Chain A
């Protein structure tokens, strides 16, 4: 079966750095995606990795290791508005997205 695992909830302090991990087992791999979802709102696209390594986009970075089936999303200089759920999704060999259950990130002042 196909499976995406990520922690259910994490807590971090405003101004700090947090790393949200995602491990996956899928039928094929055509890219890994991170989405942000604020409570009661729609998910919005954050990042995409298809090759190994780090992709940086402002305060957010995403890392991928295909051999380990592993990715992380790194958030720097945390702000209160970063409180949200972060969804990891993998595109399988049929170009279908397989979604993790999401990690709820709580930012404390």
Chain B
């Protein structure tokens, strides 16, 4: 019963390096999201996808790119990491559009540190 799986769980980068976070869900959900969580702040939406092949910007998209080539996978890329991107990243999915999308299923999180 995997649900939403994120890899890697931990990563340390140097400023300017690039990396990709992978999110996979096995619940056949249409909607997928990438959030970041920082101390003292609410979850902030980076990018989201409403279906295979689609992506959209969230509240804080700068410095990140995403792709949704397959329905079950949602990738988050950092092209040139900056210390301000040190955070815990959560991937989430939800069933469909409208109010039910508020019930999100989260991955375990990926803790990223940029030195």
Contact = CB atoms under 8 A, between A and B. Distances in A.
Interface of A: 4, 8, 30-31, 33, 35, 40-45, 48, 50, 87, 89, 91, 95-102
Chain B contact patch, size range: 20 to 34
B108 A41 contact: yes
B27 interface: no
Interface stretch (B11-19, B40-48, B75-83): B40-48
A98 B42 CA distance: 8
Given A4-B42, A96-B45, A97-B45, A42 B108 contact: yes
B40 to A, nearest CB: 6
A35 B99 CA distance: 15
Contact of A100 (B42, B102, B105, B109): B42
A95 B45 contact: no
A55 B97 CA distance: 23
A33 B102 contact: yes
Contacts of B102: 30-31, 33, 48, 89, 91, 97
7 contacts: A8-B40, A31-B99, A40-B109, A41-B109, A45-B103, A97-B104, A99-B44
